[in-house]
Amino acid sequence: MALAMRIRAARIRAGFSQADLASKIGVSRTAIANWESAKSRTRPSSERLEAICHLAGVSWEWLATGRGTATFTSDSILAMDVDLVEDPVERRLLALFRQGNSAHKEALIALLESGMARQR
């Protein structure tokens, strides 16, 4: 997982918006957005990374390098958070999809593909 994704995952799991985290570590919301962008070459300083670790409850090694475990204060990172799913409807769909058995998943895919084909 890239640094941008680790920063975003840590922030989301800690329950902070970009503005919240920015305020807590003394940077602009745009700085956080840039750090979380896969296309940006902007990286936080080691002091800022340390502050994010402290606030989000993650290990320095994981956030800075991707090695080791995140050691979130909760049990684990939700896959939906790592997938960067923000739309509530998409989150519900993904959660239900992941709970279904193979037959349910195939039926749902067929239904969606059929609906999409009709729209074209």
Query: How do residues 48-107 score in pLDDT, each as one tens digit?
Result: 999 999 999 899 899 999 888 777 544 444 554 555 566 778 878 887 887 888 899 899
Residues 62/6, Cβ–Cβ less than 8 Å? yes
* 51 or 41, which is more confident: 51
pLDDT in tens, 1-34: 789 999 999 999 889 999 999 999 999 999 999 9
Q: How many helices (H) and strands (E) does the chain have?
A: 8, 0
Q: How many CB atoms lie within 10 A of CB 60?
A: 14
Same domain flag for 113 and 92: yes
Helix (H, G, I), strand (E, B) or coil at 48: helix
Asked if residue 52 and residue 101 are part of one domain, the reply reads no
pLDDT of 73: 47
Pair 68, 36 in one domain: yes
Range of the domain at 92: 85-119
Instruction: Quote the pTM value.
Output: 0.60
Q: What is the pLDDT of residue 41?
A: 86
- Same domain? For 63 and 89 the reply is no
Alpha carbons 40 and 42: distance in angstroms, whole number: 5
Predicted local confidence at residue 32, as pLDDT: 96
Structural domain count of the chain: 2
